[in-house]
Every structure is written in structure tokens, then in C-alpha cells.
Chains A and B, each alone.
Chain A
Amino acid sequence: MRRLPACALVTTIVAATTAVAVLAGCGSSSDRALRTSLSALATPPAASTPAAPPAAPVRCGDPTASLRPAGGLPPPRRMPAGSYMARIQKRGRLVAGVDQNTLLFAYFNPATRRIEGFEVDVLREVARAIFGNPDAIELRAVTTAQRIPEVQSGAVDVVADAVTVNCERRRLVDFSSVYFAAAQRVLVPAASRARGLADLHGRRVCATRSSTSLARLERAPSHPTPYAVAQRTDCLVALQEGRVAAITSDDAILLGFKAQDPATRIVGPRLGDEPYGMAIAKGHPEFVRFVNGVLQRMRQDGTWRAIHRRWLGPFAPTPAPPEARYAG
């Protein structure tokens, strides 16, 4: 009789514990799927390629002086063996770096679905000189920060992207003779009272990263606040959204902005000359001479004027083509 309570208790406890063990063994939760899915969603974005470091200021005489063209141009499809043009000819097309957002100079036209503009037409003349066919060209979009590295690395043969020729850049790449003479100015909203950088002390002024305009802006005596963007057109967006009070860039580019936003005005004195040259990788002087030969022909036979009239005619009178200067 004594054993009964103890037995009963023990039996009950054992039964309960067994039940616990059985139940706990099945259906416990795990957060493995949660962790897997969350770590996948947290995949970080791919690292961006770093921008080219700013070159130290140097002096070099006349930066616009390029290599003299060597007599006449070779006929199309008969490029001299061993030259860079022969390499291009073998490839079958000229690879050129351009912007695709600069209205009038190089922009993607959705109506025709092609990149078009003044610079595109100039490059097509180079392609015509090599192949006899201006369509033998591949246009690659480049950003202002990446255009020099892309020429240096050989990803493109030549860049025509409103690149101002100066001594700093001449240390990195070669340039053709000047194909367009622009000047740096300022764009403000039509309602603004500013008439130039002098009126913009402490205000934000936009310029493209790695451009000569940004460099001049940073040195401006009235100390505006520089606001740098990765691509040119981002400045116009910033102006339209009121994030900046003004944009400073080449008047050629500003004309394109004004064409997209009539409620703006180009103001101020010429802040600096911006001679445009085509950038070519170092080590191919025969290609530089070849391109200069094409440009010289364009100056003489009226092609340059025709291209200028086609694109900029509605906005500015067609000047004489910029003179070429040679040194060697």
C-alpha cells in the first residue's frame, strides 16, 4: 500500500516527461531561411570605378599646338601598314567615345534612335577618311571622369567630348588640333538677378566633376560653393530642382541646356577659353597627324562650316573654323 502513491507519482511523471520529449523533438523553429534571404537581399552594390585623379597643374607652352599632318591623307581603306589607322581598318570600325547627353554636340535622339550632334559628325568624317564610309563607327558613351582613362586604356580610339585642351591633360593623352573654340560662362534661371560668378558668393554653382569648369570655379575669387556632379545634364536637373543657383560650363554646352529649358539665361563674361581637341592615346603620333589632316581638309573644303550650320546655326552665327596650330 505504501508503494502505491510513489508508484502512481512516478508513473505520471515518467509519462509526462516522455510526452515532452516526443513533442519537443518535432516542430522546433529554425531561422536559417530567414538569415539566408536577408543576407541575399543585403547584397551590396558593385563598387564603382574610381575617377581619374586630378593632374597637377603644369606649364607646357602652347597646349593647342598639335602635330602637323604629313602631306596628303592616304586613300580610304589603304592605311599605311603598321600604323594605328591600319589597326582600326582591320577592326572594321572606328571606336569613338562621346557624351550622349549634350544636346547639339552629342546626344541620343529618340526620334532617330541614334547619337547625333556636331562632334558625332566630325568623328564620322574621320571614319569616312579611314573607310570611305562615315557609318563605320561605333559610338560609346563616356562620362567626363572616365573619358581620359578610356582613351589611355585603348577602350576607345579617340574621344570627342568637349574636352578642353590644356597642359595637365596633355601629360596623359595627345590632342588633335582644335576643332571648336568655346568659352566658359554661367547659366542662371531667367528670374535670377545674378549676372556672373561675382554675384554668386556663397551660393551653390554646379559643374561637372573633373572638368576645367570645375577647376576654375574652385579658384573663383567670389568664392561660390562648388557643387560637382558625375554627368553634365545632372547640373540642369539640379538647377531645375532649385538645388543650385547657377551652372558654369562651356557656352556650347550651356546652349544645349538653354535649348532644353528656355527659362534660363547665359550670363557673365568669358571666364576662360575652352579650345576643344580630340583626345588620342599617347604613342600613336601617326594617328594624330592623320586626324589633323582630316580636320585641315574639313576647314578648307567647307565641311566644318556645314556641320556647324547644321547643328548650331539656329543658335549662333557660323564663325570661321578655329585655326590649327602645329609644333612638330
Chain B
Amino acid sequence: MVLVAVAAVGAALLMAGAVGSRQRAANAVATQSGPLLVQADELYASLADADATAATTFLTGGQEPPARRRRYLQDLRSASARLSNLAREVGDSSDAGAAVSQIATLLPVYSGSIEAARANNRQGFPIGAAYLREASDVMRGRILPAAGRLYAFEAQKLGDSYKSGTSWNGIVAFGAGAVLILAVLIAIQVALARRMRRNLNIPMAVATVLLIGLAAWGLAAMATEQRALGDAQRKGSDSVEVLSAARILSLRAQADEGLALVARGGGGQNLAEFDLIMRRLRPDGGLLGEAARLAERAGSAEEGASTATAFASYRAAHGRVAALQDQGRYADAVRLAVAVPGSESARAARLDATLAAQVAAAQKRFERAASRATSALSGLRIAIILIVAVSALLALAGLQLRMNEYR
């Protein structure tokens, strides 16, 4: 009797504990790490887009085009909103909290410098370009790295949640618990059958059947959850991570191009960085190639083709603008970069939109798979506790029956 009780308690603990930890991990993926990664990614992208937009806004000189101004303000609003969401979730103490407060402190400094650039530019003063340079230095030297640290932190947490949601320990513990109680029950039934010469003890048999059913359900549920989390990662968040990195790098390249055009010959460093980023991104062997591979794995092979086309078109446009810059025809270079239809900035916008759409699609795949993972395990913990308790009572009742008969 004591043996049954001990085995029951032990099994319940093991199984419920295993399922509980899996469930927490799946919940973390679906409701915390996943969404927070999305917030951190969109914060990073908004800031990088603000940098790129501001750098190209003053190219045409004088008053900035209203559409660019609206886009810049939208970027700042979006960044502020994401920042306050993240601040709520992340708290103060960790590295992530430090990154959040650094961004919150520096963003007003950045926007202040941009407004000073704007005011001076309207009056035709060259100091406007100096304020723009200062703003860009703050953004690239301090704000964007902090956003990158935040993003890395959230991505790491997501990775940890995946690991604990798909680790061996859960299944082994569950299996061990099931084996424990089943072994005890079967051993007792067999021992009873030997002694009492009656093979079937109905309550204990029912208990055994219930437990076998529970074990099967539990293992199947954990298998589903594991597969769903695997899908969430392979078809969802992996693509989100790689595509977001590609998008942010392409925004940085756009800002480099803008700053080089503003510098009119003094932007050699920016152009060198542009080329470096293009090499990092290229569809054959670079980051976009990796994204295409992931898209194929997720069943959307055409995504890779469309980014490759957009990228090639952007690169070709840049080549033409760079050729004009080399010849010193800056006015023409600026016109080709921003003003004409099919301009470089139009193609950059198309590449950006393509990447953003693919990120959104990958996020949807992630959300679907993650919610499959959480729903697979729903109700299982309570079921374990109830069924093990019921089975233990049945087993005890069965034993009691035998004991009474014996007396």
C-alpha cells in the first residue's frame, strides 16, 4: 500500500513536472520571448529607418520633402512605442534594461540634433549638415548598438526557451514517471494473481488501463508540442531573425549612401561601408542567400527569388549613382538617387518593403506554430494529477478488496 502511494506521488511529480516545464517553455515562446523579439526587432528597424530617412532628407537641400518628413516622424513614434513596451517587460536590472534606458535617454538628443539640422538647413546655413552629421554619429555610435544589444538579448532568450521546450529531459522524466507507476501496478497485480489465484483484479486493471492511456496521451502531446516548437523556430523565428538582420543592414547601407551624397566627396568611409554591407547581404552566399534557404525550408521558395531581384535592382541603381559621384557630378547623382522615378531610393524602398513583408509572413508562421505548441499541452497537467490520483485510489481499492477476501 505504501508502495503504491509512494509510486503514485513520485510518478505524478515527475510527469506533471516534465509537462509543466515544457508548457512554461512553450508559453514563454508564444507569449513572451517571441513577441518581445518582434518588438525589439521593430524598434531596431524603426531607428535604422529614421537614420536612413534623415540622411537622405537633406539631399535636395532647403525644405525637406513632406513625405520623408512624415516617414521620419512615423519612425520616431514607432520607436518610442516599442521602447515603452519593452521597458515594461524587461525591467531595469539586466543588460537589456540598461540598453532600453540608454536608448530612451539618447533618442531625444538625436531628434534634437535633427531638428537643429532642419532649422539651419531652411536658412541655407552649412551648419545644418554638421548637425546632421552629429545626429548620425549619436544614432550609429550609441543608439543603434544599444538596440542591437537589446535584440540579441531577446533572441538569446527565445533560443533558451526553445531549448527548454524541446529538451530530452522532459520526455525522459515523463517516461520515467509513467514507467515507475506502471511497473509498480503491474508488479502488484502479478504478485496478487500469483498468491490469490485470481488473475483479474478489476479496479487495478482499470487503473492500469487509465495510466497507459495517460502515458500515451502525454507522450503524443509532448511530441506534438516539440514538433510545433521546432516548426516555430525553423519556419518562423529563424526567418524572422535572418530577414530582420538583412533589413537592418540594408537600411544602414541606405544611410551610408545618403551621408556620402551629402558629403559630396568627403564620404569615402561611408561608401566603403556600403560596399562592405552589400557583400555581406548578397543572395549568393551572403545573408539573403541564407534567408532564401530558410524560406525554401518553410515552403515559400518564391520569397528568395523576389528579394534577389529587388537586391540586384537596388545594387544596379547604386552603381549608376556611384559612377556619377566618381565623376564629380553630384547634382546629377543626387537627382538619380532620390528624384527620378526608378531612383535608387525607390528601389531601396522596394527592397525594404519586400523584406518587411517577408518578416511579417514569417512572424505569422511563427505565431501559428507557437500557439499549436501551447495548445498541445493544455489541460495535461491537471489530467496527470487527476488520473494518477484516481488510479492510485483504484489500486488501493483493489488491494483492499483482496485483503478483505483474504480475511
| Chain A interfacial positions (CB closer than 8 Å to B) | 1, 4-5, 8-9, 12-13, 16-17, 19-20, 22-24, 26-34, 36-38, 40-43, 45-49, 93, 95, 97, 100-103, 107-111, 113-115, 138-143, 146, 231, 233-234, 236-237, 240, 256, 260-261
The answer, yes or no, to whether B163 is at the interface (CB within 8 Å) is yes
Instruction: Choose from B162, B183, B264, B265 the contact partner of A9 (Cβ within 8 Å).
Output: B183
- 19 pairs, CB–CB < 8 Å, chain A vs chain B: A8-B190, A16-B176, A19-B219, A20-B168, A23-B223, A24-B168, A29-B233, A33-B237, A40-B246, A41-B245, A47-B269, A95-B328, A109-B124, A114-B331, A138-B327, A140-B328, A141-B263, A233-B130, A234-B133
In the bound assembly, the distance between CA atoms of A326 and B233 in angstroms comes to: 77
B126 touches A107 (CB 8 A): yes
Residues of B within 8 A of A5 (CB): 186-187, 190-191
Residues of B within 8 A of A23 (CB): 171, 219, 222-223, 226
B249 touches A43 (CB 8 A): yes
Q: Name the CB-closest residue of A to B172.
A: A20
Residues of A within 8 A of B131 (CB): 237
B61 touches A38 (CB 8 A): no
Residues of A within 8 A of B156 (CB): 34
In the bound assembly, the distance between CA atoms of A260 and B121 in angstroms comes to: 11
In the bound assembly, the distance between CA atoms of A16 and B14 in angstroms comes to: 15
The answer, yes or no, to whether B134 is at the interface (CB within 8 Å) is yes
Q: A29-B166, A29-B229 are in contact. Are A36 and B124 (CB under 8 A)?
A: no
The interface residues of chain B, by DSSP majority, are classed as: helix
* Size bracket of the B interface: 35 or more
The answer, yes or no, to whether B10 is at the interface (CB within 8 Å) is no
In the bound assembly, the distance between CA atoms of A1 and B269 in angstroms comes to: 85
Cβ distance A141 to chain B, nearest Cβ, rounded Å: 4
Cβ distance B384 to chain A, nearest Cβ, rounded Å: 16
In the bound assembly, the distance between CA atoms of A260 and B127 in angstroms comes to: 8
Instruction: Choose from A16, A17, A103 the contact partner of B126 (Cβ within 8 Å).
Output: A103
Per-residue interface assignment for chain B, residues 208 to 238, with 1 indicating a CB less than 8 Å from any chain A CB and 0 otherwise: 0000000100010011001111110100011
Residues of B within 8 A of A40 (CB): 242, 245-246, 249, 280, 287
Q: A12-B182, A27-B227 are in contact. Are A234 and B61 (CB under 8 A)?
A: no
B264 touches A140 (CB 8 A): yes
A29 touches B230 (CB 8 A): yes
In the bound assembly, the distance between CA atoms of A42 and B147 in angstroms comes to: 12
In the bound assembly, the distance between CA atoms of A237 and B290 in angstroms comes to: 43
Cβ distance A9 to chain B, nearest Cβ, rounded Å: 5
In the bound assembly, the distance between CA atoms of A134 and B133 in angstroms comes to: 32
In the bound assembly, the distance between CA atoms of A143 and B311 in angstroms comes to: 32
Instruction: Choose from B62, B165, B222 the contact partner of A111 (Cβ within 8 Å).
Output: B62
Instruction: Choose from B148, B223, B276 the contact partner of A42 (Cβ within 8 Å).
Output: B148
| Chain B interfacial positions (CB closer than 8 Å to A) | 60-62, 116, 120-121, 123-127, 129-131, 133-134, 140, 148, 151-152, 155-156, 158-159, 162-163, 165-166, 168, 171-172, 175-176, 178-179, 182-183, 186-187, 190-191, 193-194, 215, 219, 222-223, 226-231, 233, 237-239, 241-242, 244-246, 248-249, 263-266, 268-269, 272-273, 276-277, 280, 287, 290, 294, 327-329, 331
Q: A40-B280, A45-B273 are in contact. Are A9 and B194 (CB under 8 A)?
A: no
The interface residues of chain A, by DSSP majority, are classed as: mixed
In the bound assembly, the distance between CA atoms of A209 and B114 in angstroms comes to: 24
Residues of B within 8 A of A26 (CB): 223, 226-227, 230
A33 touches B263 (CB 8 A): no
In the bound assembly, the distance between CA atoms of A43 and B145 in angstroms comes to: 11
Residues of A within 8 A of B231 (CB): 27
Cβ distance A244 to chain B, nearest Cβ, rounded Å: 14
Residues of B within 8 A of A16 (CB): 175-176, 178-179, 215
In the bound assembly, the distance between CA atoms of A102 and B130 in angstroms comes to: 11
In the bound assembly, the distance between CA atoms of A301 and B269 in angstroms comes to: 43
In the bound assembly, the distance between CA atoms of A181 and B116 in angstroms comes to: 33
A33 touches B229 (CB 8 A): no
Q: A5-B190, A29-B162 are in contact. Are A34 and B155 (CB under 8 A)?
A: yes
Q: A9-B186, A236-B127 are in contact. Are A27 and B229 (CB under 8 A)?
A: yes
B222 touches A29 (CB 8 A): no
Most interface-central of A29, A33, A42, A233 (chain B CB within 10 A): A29
Residues of A within 8 A of B233 (CB): 29-30, 33
Q: A9-B186, A110-B121 are in contact. Are A37 and B244 (CB under 8 A)?
A: yes
Instruction: Choose from B61, B163, B175, B237 the contact partner of A19 (Cβ within 8 Å).
Output: B175
Residues of A within 8 A of B158 (CB): 34
B230 touches A33 (CB 8 A): no
Instruction: Choose from B130, B187, B230, B266 the contact partner of A236 (Cβ within 8 Å).
Output: B130
B130 touches A234 (CB 8 A): yes
Residues of B within 8 A of A146 (CB): 266
Q: Name the CB-closest residue of A to B241.
A: A37
In the bound assembly, the distance between CA atoms of A233 and B128 in angstroms comes to: 9
Residues of A within 8 A of B126 (CB): 100-103, 107-108, 233, 256, 260
Residues of B within 8 A of A22 (CB): 223
A29 touches B266 (CB 8 A): no
Q: Name the CB-closest residue of B to A9.
A: B183
Cβ distance A115 to chain B, nearest Cβ, rounded Å: 7
B328 touches A139 (CB 8 A): yes
A233 touches B226 (CB 8 A): no
In the bound assembly, the distance between CA atoms of A40 and B121 in angstroms comes to: 35
Instruction: Choose from B130, B172, B190, B248 the contact partner of A4 (Cβ within 8 Å).
Output: B190
Q: Name the CB-closest residue of A to B182.
A: A12
Residues of B within 8 A of A141 (CB): 263-266
In the bound assembly, the distance between CA atoms of A93 and B129 in angstroms comes to: 27
Cβ distance B233 to chain A, nearest Cβ, rounded Å: 6
Q: Name the CB-closest residue of B to A260.
A: B125
